[in-house]
Amino acid sequence: MLMRILLICVCLLFSFRTVGCADDNIEIVQKKGLLLLQGYDHWLDTSYQFTDNHSTGSLNTSQTVTETYNFTTTAALMDQRVFQFTLGGSIGLQQVMNDLNSTGSSYGSGQIYQYSFSGTAFEESRFPLIVQSSRTLNTVTPPYSPTYTTDTTTNAAELSLLHDVLPLKFRYERDATTLESGSSTSNSISNNYSITATHKVRDFSQTSLSLSMTNAEDSSNSNVVSANNLNSNRFSASLANALLMGANGNHTLQTSLQWTEENPSGVQQQLATIGSTLLSRFGKALDTQLAYQSNFTRTTDVTGEIQYESSNSVTASLHHHLFSNLDTRLRVLYIQDLILGGEETRYSGLAGINYHKLLPAASRFSFDVSGEHSVIDRNVVSTILTIRNEQHTVALQGESIPISNTEGNLLSVVSVTSINFGITTLYVPGVDYTVDTGLGSILITPGGAIVPGTLILVTYTVNYAPSIKYATDTVTLGSSLSLLDGKYLLSGTYMNQEESLLSGRSQNSLLNTRVGQLRFKGFLPPDQNYTITYENFDSTNSSYRFLEGLWQYKHLFSRTSLSLQAREHYEIYDPQGSLPGHDQITSDGSVALSRPVLQFMQMTLMLDMSDLWDNKQGRTDLLFFRSNLSARFNKLTVTLNGQSSWRFIGTSLSRDDYVRLDVVRYF
């Protein structure tokens, strides 16, 4: 019996050893070869798009067919740890036919070519290398006018030196865009170099250094206009350090230094910032913060004269937590600006208390009150300040965009531009935008050349009062009461801000503003909520009141998602100066439904309705319907999108339709 057991054990031992050797052999054996393909995917994408616009006396239609072949593959050279890369690309053809009442029918086609390449070398070593390259070539022919070709390429390389004491990262990127249209050619080339270094000393100090330099060259020429070249350079250096101090790391000192020198649009600018912040925690109840920042700017005004601006600011704040439900905060601020050949001093103090209390029946009450007193004392020689290339992104046509500088009156808008494909576009005042100096804003003209999504650069001048001293007193109150674990929520806020002249003569309108809001929100478990809001706004320049009710319903059934929303908004504007008052009533609602159809198809439907009535501008109604149907048949994907919108403005009616069919075949 004993011999039999020993024999069985020996057999099992040899069996396990054999299996282990087989596993070891499998792990040791590796694929060999110069090019190791790890996968190849390719697919064909075909789409058809139809749009039309119906308005009074006109019908415009457009049809577009696009066919694109796409591929992507991942491979390695000899060993993926030595060099591994991913290559993708697409080749496409687009055909467009337009039928316009004003110009008749037109037909054209375009080609699309694109590739992208990214690779990683020596990723497990101390000097990993990343390379990237991409190109997009797009040729567009009539009915687009004029015919144009865009060629965009990007090449980049990034090398890291993973040193134990001082890790370094070097990066180079070159972007180039060429736009050819008829007899004109525009080129935009930029080269960017950057170095990043970090250093860490245990757990109490971390330092980072970053240097970057960009050189950009824009050129354009044609047979009609002589060549026009514009070079711009940008150099930036930043140094940051975080230092933990104290036995338990209760004190943190953050220091930063940044220097930037650039010449956008041929205008030299220099910017420097030095900042330091000390965060301290004393026990569990007391936090303090002490911060210092210095800024320096050097540029030129609209007349070409050198313009300097510098500021130094000191901020100290304290937060104290008492009795688990009472928080107090204090803050003092001092800023000194050297601007327009003179000086502007600001100082302010703020005190606030927040009280919060847990109540029976899973309820909660909170109350917050704060008061701030600030003084601005300005004595300058010049009264006009130039702000260059302030960036704003246009969300939609018809919107009003306020400028960032609010200390002075808007005097004039010098220019509104945008840069695309290396070409600077100068927009026309009164056609593409209008300026409201009283409100300090620009209005994007509907139907103008500034389309939604455009990044615009605004250069403007502000008129300052040369000698003025005024104070601003602000009181803010806020309270909320949550009942039955948030089932009902009642909240209110009130803000009163008064500006008073202490000395000098005001060229700006000193404002007195009062804003009060009361809101009630209720939840009807598990799917409904409703909100009632009342707000009263009263200021020196404007005054209005509104009452709004909102109801929402969202429910997820076993396979269907349903969403409903309804809103009613009533607003009253009081007369201001020579402008009469007016009333507005807005009613809107929406329905969204998503559910599967069969086992391989998903359907989504959405309906939006809006009605705006204004006793000064009349009535505007909007009806919007959208649907989506997507299906997957093995390796075939089909997506159908459609939408229609109706706009009723007074007695006029317009309608827009859109249909798009996408068919993707994976191989």
3-state secondary structure of 7: helix
pLDDT score, position 229: 64
State yes or no: pLDDT of 8 exceeds 50: no
Query: What is the pLDDT averaged over residues 91-104?
Result: 82
Rg of the Cα trace of the chain? Answer: 33
Residue matched to tokens 């100066």: 577
- pLDDT band for 404, please (50, 70, 90 cuts): low
- pLDDT band for 417, please (50, 70, 90 cuts): confident
State yes or no: pLDDT of 228 exceeds 70: no
Could you tell me how many residues make up the chain? Answer: 667
Query: What is the pLDDT averaged over residues 77-101?
Result: 87
Residues near 663 by Cβ (< 8 Å), separated by ≥ 6? 45, 46, 47, 636, 637, 638
d(CA 484, CA 55): 53
pLDDT score, position 16: 39
User: Greatest CA span in the chain, whole angstroms?
Assistant: 116
CA distances, 258 to each of 63, 196, 254, 289, 335 (Å): 52, 14, 14, 22, 20
**Among 493, 455, 495, which residue's Cα sits nearest to residue 475?**
495
- pLDDT band for 30, please (50, 70, 90 cuts): low
pLDDT score, position 55: 79
pLDDT score, position 614: 82
d(CA 522, CA 488): 4
Who has greater pLDDT, 576 or 442? 442
pLDDT digits (tens, 9 = 90+) for 473-491: 999 999 999 998 889 999 9
pLDDT score, position 44: 95
pLDDT score, position 22: 42
- In 263-284, which positions are buried (b, 16+ CB within 10 angstroms) versus exposed (e)? ebbebebebbebbebbebbeee
H runs (alpha helix) in 547-664? none
State yes or no: pLDDT of 350 exceeds 80: yes
Please state the separation of Cα 507 from the chain's center in Å: 35
pLDDT score, position 634: 87
d(CA 607, CA 621): 14
**Amino acid (one-letter) located at 288:** T
**Among 382, 376, 327, 378, which residue's Cα sits nearest to residue 355?**
327
Q: Give the sign of the dihedral formed by CA 295, CA 296, CA 299, CA 301.
A: positive
Query: What is the pLDDT averaged over residues 50-77?
Result: 89
pLDDT score, position 10: 39
pLDDT digits (tens, 9 = 90+) for 163-215: 888 999 999 999 998 888 777 788 888 899 999 999 999 888 999 999 999 98
State yes or no: pLDDT of 86 exceeds 70: yes
**Looking at the whole model, is its pTM more than 0.75?**
no
- Contact in structure between 444 and 397 (CB atoms under 8 Å): yes
Query: What is the pLDDT averaged over residues 76-96?
Result: 89
3-state secondary structure of 395: coil
If you ran DSSP here, which 8-state letter would residue 465 be given? P
State yes or no: pLDDT of 419 exceeds 80: no
**Poorest-pLDDT segment among 14-18, 231-235, 351-355, 540-544:** 14-18
pLDDT score, position 210: 96
CA distances, 611 to each of 80, 125, 508 (Å): 61, 64, 38
Who has greater pLDDT, 244 or 449? 244
Q: Given the DSSP bridges, would you call strands 543-556 and 582-597 parallel, antiparallel or unpaired?
A: unpaired
State yes or no: pLDDT of 38 exceeds 50: yes
pLDDT score, position 205: 92
Who has greater pLDDT, 143 or 536? 536
* Residues above pLDDT 70, as percent of the chain: 88
Instruction: List, as own/partner pairs, every contact residues 531-540 make where C-beta atoms lie below 8 angstroms and the sequence separation is at least 24, other chains included.
Output: 537/513, 538/513, 538/514, 539/511, 539/512, 539/513, 539/514, 540/509, 540/510, 540/511, 540/512, 540/513
Who has greater pLDDT, 33 or 158? 158
Who has greater pLDDT, 8 or 422? 422
State yes or no: pLDDT of 399 exceeds 90: no
pLDDT score, position 641: 95
Q: Would you state the structure tokens that stand for residue 647, as one six-digit string?
A: 């706009």
pLDDT score, position 18: 39
Who has greater pLDDT, 431 or 346? 346
Query: What is the pLDDT averaged over residues 515-525?
Result: 94
Average pLDDT of the residues of the chain: 85
Using CA atoms of 386, 391, 394, 399 in order, give the dihedral in degrees to the nearest 10.
-30
* Residues above pLDDT 90, as percent of the chain: 46
Residues near 502 by Cβ (< 8 Å), separated by ≥ 6? 375, 469, 470, 471
Who has greater pLDDT, 451 or 144? 451
State yes or no: pLDDT of 46 exceeds 70: yes
**Poorest-pLDDT segment among 144-148, 155-159, 295-299, 567-571:** 144-148
**Amino acid (one-letter) located at 186:** S
Query: What is the pLDDT averaged over residues 537-546?
Result: 86
Who has greater pLDDT, 290 or 7? 290
- Contact in structure between 369 and 477 (CB atoms under 8 Å): yes
Who has greater pLDDT, 528 or 451? 528
H-helix or E-strand containing 439? none
State yes or no: pLDDT of 552 exceeds 90: yes
d(CA 139, CA 561): 43
d(CA 312, CA 292): 7
- In 108-135, which positions are buried (b, 16+ CB within 10 angstroms) versus exposed (e)? bebebebbbeebbbeeeeeebbbbebbb
DSSP 63-80: EEEEEEEEEEEEEEES-T
State phi, psi for 23 to the nearest 5 degrees: -65, -40
